[in-house]
Structure 1
């Protein structure tokens, strides 16, 4: 991860981690007390009275067993000070006396990006100036009708493009901006015959897209002519460029950054005007995706700033679809959002203008958990026949199986079982919670979600690398269903067999944020502090229990599917499932394991 993200040679990053005293670093920010060979303190990332934040100098990592935050020195600074990776690397390098040298060609890339940022800043200034003239009157009238104040207009650097074909082009030319650079940024387009260029944004209200550091990445433009004859898209956004990647950027982040830092909570809305409206009404933690559905990259990026998400989409069919697309992405990343469902036909902007900011604030403060709302919504559509009810249940199950907590999954499935008038067992693993399709993104190693057998096994191999030669075979991989752990196993084997060695510090240096939390939790667990003469037996016990778990999980899945096949009266499918169940039961009995399902 760091090689790509930081553009700093990997050997330099490794040297920084070797030199840094992580206990001394973290001790500059909070009080640490000695706890055996490690240190303990109150977590800086969540409120707690009993210390659960551990620091291991020997492993070069930190981990909080309360909120599951964890990683190495880079990740600590990035999280605590909201730094980018290069910023954190620079700060740590200075601390240990290392001069950062970028790889060949990197400096020129940085210079090119700086030029792009400068050009976009020119364009933003130009649009803001046009807004103040007669050419921007339609844009200013549009905002005035929506009661957007001059202060808010200035805060978001709103502007207007002209209806001329080359207004911006001529301005950039006067600033000696190279045409090739303007083309790369999507500010101008080349005509098909190659004879000349024209402005991409014409006769539009302009919204600069600004990153967390205040740099203009691109623009979003809303058409000002809404007549039926105008077939142009209502909104257009800058094309992808060397500095703008729409799937990883949100609108309003720069303006919301301070509120996000203070509240650790974010309101996600659909449109730019919705963001602006909420900020003007005091809800300054609102942002919006840009011309796209919420992406995993956006969620991972926003998780650097916040712990809690509130979804607030329009009160129409499109808004409901946006909610249904966003929810599984957030759940898969380990977040439990709340949801504000607006009345039919309302969006955040129209709701505030009609009902006032107090009504909106009340909706936000009373927002239910999104999963609770979803379950109630679907069950209310359930119908009366068993088949109709089963159809609604099947719509909910995929969302429940994205939840990282076994207790939560079981609670929701029990509700569904009561709704169907059935025992909850058949629902318990229709889509097993440990299935590889949902493991990606789960970051919390909950001590009582009992560090999984797969993770215990992996920890043993990292702590005692010689096990790779002694016991690792295809049977081990066959019983690992957690895709993240399987990938780690394969990476670890590659490290070990290449002669590079194998350690927690090594694995953490290459891990993304959510994976680092898992790894740091495992590394600081005392599960692997066992005598060497007992390690082999522990590995064999893990493998046996994993195999039993996999078979029992499959048996539960089959039981649930058999129940639904009976409800749907599908004899062919029912016979297939019964045959599979018989085979699994036979295998379990051969392993000396009784079956209660």
Structure 2
């Protein structure tokens, strides 16, 4: 997998990259001794089992088994090919890469990122440096958006006209096919050719977690329809998996342990302008479970904002969007020890704004202090939804009471926070005048009906179902340099049966590396990297290795003799069938090998 990069270059990049800092951009890490721990970004879990080991420069999840180094993490997190991950980390570490190292096709995705970056530069130039951007600049001023904030969010302007961007990008050598791929141009309805998607609009670049432009949101500055025109989904951009301003907000989300979620681009800018830099926008009214999962890696609390008049309806809708049936049983059921089964559920809250206000208008009218007060008064989103479900029904009538009971039970059936679920059930039962146990039983029944079937095969952690003797041997090799020096010259791949262990052995034998951690880029796949990470983090206390080495040397010598005996026996059978005159020499060689093998067995049987 080293992709044509020298081991020395890869090791230099790996050594310069702070893996805690890198992973910490995506995972809310907390110190655990010499290492760092957090919720795994690659599978759903409630108890942190994802570890980062700064001294070794690796990560490993004890839950799903994934593991690797900085290159492997970035490949998984951002879905990059190995050469792309190397280039990203080399730039981050300030390491120059050989300019001649490029293979056809490995830069296609990188070329699309470059196309989006060039388009963003074009739009920024049109906003700030061209006469046609004057109207957009006046619009920003009318909305109270400070120039420095607009520049921080790299806002731009798409000039009126059909092919301004198209002509500019062609002059930069960008093909029409690439522009179509990233959604910047559209085919003409009549005739041939293409035209600019965005025309006469203020543009909000949408970036990924690495700060790379992946899409644009275009706002009309007059009465044009639609009010907002957004990029389509592309190879770089999936709407429901991206949050606007997430790249800028991540540090503050982690520091404050909360995220503020608004709906619009301007809402988000205005929040940042007033000091609420932990704010992101959901890129539309729908807030997806994927976006929530992204925030969950960085914080324990998410606060969203509703207009007071529409709060009940929106709260219920948001609960439906975010609470999906799971594959497990009732997640908040009390276990046999009397404690709850989860301890790190994300808290979802709703902050109410006065009727007719959104965060943008409220901040401009009332200011940051009033906004802070609204945040402090935020209530549980689930509690608000339950309250709305009860309040919308006539609970004095049997039918209304039954309907409210069913609606509340359906909400509870999707709750994963044990503490909150218990409180909600108790409060709702009190308002409905029913036994809390009834709600509990009905929610459990509904969850069973809603439950999604579990995947047929769940990913097994690396290291499961490995031959224990082989695993111990490779673990000893990666953790002890003296053992490597003594055993690698005599070991062959045939000494190991498990394919992943064989791959690690092959890398140990063929790659010149200062440490086993540096082998990560040279392993063929995720399974092998995860297994190597698992072996490296074990930190087993080995006894005196001298007798172990001697024992392994005798064992491998016996295996080598056995292989030779099999090979010579096969040669004898072929010689007998063909009348080969070399048969006597082969028979003599076989007798000699059998004698040597017997001597080795006797030697191995003697007490040390």
Question: TM-score of the superposition, structure 1-length normalised?
Answer: 0.58
1:164 paired with 2:161, answer yes
Cα distance, 1:355–1:82 mapped onto 2, change above 3 Å: farther
* Residues 328 and 402, structure 1, Cα contact 8 Å, conserved in 2: no
Matches within 5 A, 1:38-49: none
1:291 paired with 2:288, answer no
Could you tell me which residue of structure 2 aligns to residue 423 of structure 1? Answer: 435
* Residues 127 and 157, structure 2, Cα contact 8 Å, conserved in 1: yes
Deviations 1:506-558, CA, capped at 9 Å, x for gaps: xxx78xxxxxxxxxxxx9xxxxxxxxxxxxxxxxxxxxxxxxxxxxxxxxxxx
Decide which of 379, 383, 389 is 1:372's aligned counterpart.
383
1:217 paired with 2:236, answer no
Could you tell me which residue of structure 1 aligns to residue 365 of structure 2? Answer: 354
1:345 paired with 2:352, answer no
Could you tell me which residue of structure 2 aligns to residue 189 of structure 1? Answer: 186
* Residues 79 and 304, structure 1, Cα contact 8 Å, conserved in 2: no
* Residues 402 and 433, structure 1, Cα contact 8 Å, conserved in 2: no
State the aligned residue count.
Answer: 417
**Greater relative contact order (Cα < 8 A, sep 6+):** 2
Question: TM-score of the superposition, structure 2-length normalised?
Answer: 0.58
* Residues 155 and 255, structure 1, Cα contact 8 Å, conserved in 2: no
Could you tell me which residue of structure 2 aligns to residue 554 of structure 1? Answer: none
Query: How far, CA to CA, are the matches of 1:491 and 1:45 in structure 2?
Result: 17
Query: How far, CA to CA, are the matches of 1:385 and 1:78 in structure 2?
Result: 63
Gaps of 5+ in 2: 4-18, 24-28, 41-47, 54-58, 90-101, 327-344, 467-496, 502-525, 528-537, 539-608
SS of equivalent residue, structure 1 residue 419: helix
* Residues 319 and 385, structure 2, Cα contact 8 Å, conserved in 1: no
Query: How far, CA to CA, are the matches of 1:409 and 1:299 in structure 2?
Result: 19
Query: How far, CA to CA, are the matches of 1:428 and 1:244 in structure 2?
Result: 41
Deviations 1:386-421, CA, capped at 9 Å, x for gaps: 322332332222222222245543432232222222
Query: How far, CA to CA, are the matches of 1:248 and 1:42 in structure 2?
Result: 26
* Residues 237 and 291, structure 1, Cα contact 8 Å, conserved in 2: no
Shift of 1:301: 2.6
Query: How far, CA to CA, are the matches of 1:125 and 1:54 in structure 2?
Result: 38
Query: How far, CA to CA, are the matches of 1:244 and 1:435 in structure 2?
Result: 33
Query: How far, CA to CA, are the matches of 1:281 and 1:435 in structure 2?
Result: 42
Could you tell me which residue of structure 1 aligns to residue 600 of structure 2? Answer: none
* Residues 247 and 292, structure 1, Cα contact 8 Å, conserved in 2: no
Query: How far, CA to CA, are the matches of 2:269 and 2:50 in structure 1?
Result: 41
Matches within 5 A, 1:272-311: 272-291=265-284, 293-311=286-304
SS of equivalent residue, structure 1 residue 273: helix
Cα distance, 1:30–1:358 mapped onto 2, change above 3 Å: closer
Query: How far, CA to CA, are the matches of 1:322 and 1:277 in structure 2?
Result: 22
Gaps of 5+ in 1: 1-5, 9-23, 34-40, 47-51, 64-69, 95-105, 441-482, 504-508, 511-522, 524-597
Cα distance, 1:166–1:345 mapped onto 2, change above 3 Å: same
Shift of 1:310: 1.1
Deviations 1:186-229, CA, capped at 9 Å, x for gaps: 11111123422211101111001111212110110011221xxx
SS of equivalent residue, structure 1 residue 219: strand
Shift of 1:284: 0.6
Cα distance, 1:328–1:488 mapped onto 2, change above 3 Å: farther
SS of equivalent residue, structure 2 residue 107: helix
* Residues 266 and 286, structure 1, Cα contact 8 Å, conserved in 2: yes
